[in-house]
Amino acid sequence: MLHNLRNANFYFMVLLDMFIFAVAFYGAYLFRFDFDLPAYATTQFLEILKYSVVIKVSVFFGLGLYRGMWRYTGLRDLWHILEATFLQSLILVTIVLYKFGFGGFSRGVFIIDWMLTVFMISGVRVLIRSFYSYREGNGSNYPPDSCPVAGHNALIIGAGRAGEKVVREIMGSGHLRFAPVGFIDNDPTKRGRTIHGIPVLGSLNDLPNIIENKCINEILIAVAEASGKQMREIIDSCKETGLPYKILPGMDEIINGKVGIKALRDVSYQDLLGRSPVQLDTTRINQYISGKTVLVTGCGGSIGSELVRQVVRFEPARLILVDASEANLYSIQMELHHEMKFHEYVTVLGSVQNSKLLDRTFEEHKPQTVFHAAAYKHVPMVERNPWQAVNNNILGTKKVMTAADKHGVDRFVIVSTDKAVRPTNIMGASKRVTELLMRLFHNSKTTFMAVRFGNVVGSSGSVVPLFRRQIEKGGPITVTHPNVTRYFMSISEAAQLILQAGVMAKGGEIFILEMGMPVKIADMARDLIKLSGKEPDKDIEIVFTGLREGEKLYEELITEGEDIVRTEHEKIMVLKADEKDVVAYATELRSLLQNMGEAANNFDGDQVRALLHDAVAEFDEEG
């Protein structure tokens, strides 16, 4: 308010409102008496006018209606006006009743006064908003020869809900520098229409002509859902213009409140995947997370930390964070505490291989839901240290599952991988055994399940961070093989689908996330080079180094003989239950696990491999 006192527009706003209040009150008397005021009505009007104006201005001050700018009036402001004018009328009637007793006063005057006040106050603000919207929408159309080079005229690609949000926030914010000139959209039915007064000028094919004739300085990509191929076409078209371009974050991030229009950013490889936002059944997820104690192992890793972020959205009573890495555990703790403002957490620094620590943690905190993301996942590293695959991935998982079973955990979700399908390496075989461990707990009251998916963009083991570092150094980019392919999804999408799968299990299922089409790593390298503004094989060389230990050319999400069925969620499938004699198999598996543990303790890699072949019949190191 002190700042307003130094603003000339503030005084204009108050004086204009006072004039409107007086005119509305006088108009109420005129309407009530058919524009022929008797002498006593004129006396009443003059006597009450000062009360009316003072009360109305005071209520507007008290409810903060002079803090905003009329040029950005929205529906929320109109609702506040409705509330304020009703309160004004109520106070005015109360004072008249108290001071004059309502003798000889017409009740209709006060009703008409309220209606006129709402109409006139709102009307003035809408007119001012319309004037500025019209001026901003038309003032940026320059002839080509007078186009300012340093301007901020923006062309928006996408005339859907994301594009509408971009324009609405630009117009509703006084500090965003963009001035929207128009939209382009490939939907022919939108051509010639307007959104908030901004026209749809054409399709992507019209981009060069629009750039030339509409004085565009920057391009904003606001496409809620597009395939990888469509997004590549958009990016290539933007590059050909030579103008800077930015992209709006995914609609899932905007809807979840993570970011807004101010988070416009450069295009990343994740945008080229063309993954549609995940639709979550928040009601069912709330049932097993909200108000519950949730434990996450490997909470500082790529998947584990994103699981923590997603779980916090559903307001658990407490989070138990378990990680063997001090740095990772500290990092997610600080993010929770300072960025997400979530303080109901407990940090447990230790390994899942420590049975006593696990037993104490489960006994003390009594988690109801467990997400087990702790595992060694780097294929060549685990290939060279196979005993760690046994100790951490297999026996460590068994110890966490045993603690969960012992202490009555409701739901236990194992984070698995597509490398468990017909594995050609130690890591994949160990994760397949991890899935099979659920058969040891077939009589448990805990609902165990596994979720299997492919690579995630930006994870610690992903090639994307490596490729970026290589591009920054000027290349070359190293790819193992020209034909190697992988499935990819974003970290947030994987974590959200893991939460969703958690509500579907009845016990022992392996859920498979829909990964879309596999991506050639060589094509990914070329896309990343283009995104950096360089040309593949010209500015940055791509070198093929040969497949690494344990790698195969392509990954699968199901193996031969496995039968998958759809679930109620379009992006989640489930493997049909195995008809094998579970009791007999559990006895056999326990014997194998004991022998694996002994081989691991003796650092006997050959014996570990042999036992993994016994446990996983489809394990084929020849690829």
- Residues 342, 289: contact at Cβ < 8 Å? no
Q: Is residue 142 pLDDT above 80, yes or no? A: no
Q: Is residue 397 pLDDT above 80, yes or no? A: yes
> For residue 337, what pLDDT is reported?
92
> For residue 516, what pLDDT is reported?
62
Taking Cα atoms as reference points, which of 277, 270, 346 lies closest to residue 308? 346
Q: Is residue 404 pLDDT above 80, yes or no? A: yes
Q: Which amino acid is at 370?
A: V
Higher pLDDT, 368 or 165: 368
Strand, helix or coil for residue 372: strand
Is pTM, for the whole model, over 0.85? no
Q: Is residue 377 pLDDT above 60, yes or no? A: yes
Strand, helix or coil for residue 127: helix
Average pLDDT of the residues in 408-431: 88
Domain limits, the chain: 4-138, 144-267, 282-455+490-512+561-615
- Domain 144-267 - what CATH class? alpha beta
Q: Is residue 557 pLDDT above 80, yes or no? A: no
Taking Cα atoms as reference points, which of 276, 258, 277, 267 lies closest to residue 238? 267
Q: What are phi and psi of 529, to 5 degrees?
A: -65, -45
Q: Is residue 261 pLDDT above 50, yes or no? A: no
Q: What are phi and psi of 92, to 5 degrees?
A: -65, -45
Q: Is residue 71 pLDDT above 90, yes or no? A: no
Kindly report the average pLDDT of the chain as a whole number. Answer: 79
Average pLDDT of the residues in 58-81: 73
Of 15-19, 127-131, 208-212, 479-483, the one with minimum mean pLDDT is 127-131
Q: What are phi and psi of 326, to 5 degrees?
A: -60, -45
Average pLDDT of the residues in 506-517: 76
> For residue 506, what pLDDT is reported?
82
Of the segments 12-26, 75-89, 267-281, 557-571, which one has the largest average pLDDT value? 12-26
Alpha helices in 268-325 (DSSP H): 269-272, 282-289, 302-312
Of 174-183, 192-201, 379-388, 426-435, the one with minimum mean pLDDT is 174-183
Contacts of 5 (CB under 8 A, 6+ apart): none
pLDDT in tens, 211-233: 877 778 888 888 766 666 777 78
pLDDT band of residue 210 (cuts 50, 70, 90) is confident
pLDDT band of residue 501 (cuts 50, 70, 90) is confident
Higher pLDDT, 129 or 17: 17
Which residues carry out catalysis?
419
What share of the chain in percent tops pLDDT 90? 22
Tokens 């896309």 identify what position?
A: 527
pLDDT band of residue 256 (cuts 50, 70, 90) is very low
> For residue 89, what pLDDT is reported?
86
What are 162's two structure tokens? 């994301």
Q: What is the full DSSP assignment across 329-375?
A: HHHHHHIIIIIS----EEEEES-TT-HHHHHHHHHHH--SEEEE---
Higher pLDDT, 20 or 472: 20
Q: Is residue 123 pLDDT above 60, yes or no? A: yes
Does this chain's domain 144-267 share its CATH topology with 282-455+490-512+561-615?
yes
- Domain 282-455+490-512+561-615 - what CATH class? alpha beta
Q: Is residue 20 pLDDT above 50, yes or no? A: yes
Tell me: cis bond preceding 476? Omega within 30 of 0 counts: yes
> For residue 3, what pLDDT is reported?
46
> For residue 21, what pLDDT is reported?
87
What share of the chain in percent tops pLDDT 70? 77
> For residue 88, what pLDDT is reported?
83
pLDDT band of residue 559 (cuts 50, 70, 90) is low
pLDDT band of residue 358 (cuts 50, 70, 90) is very high
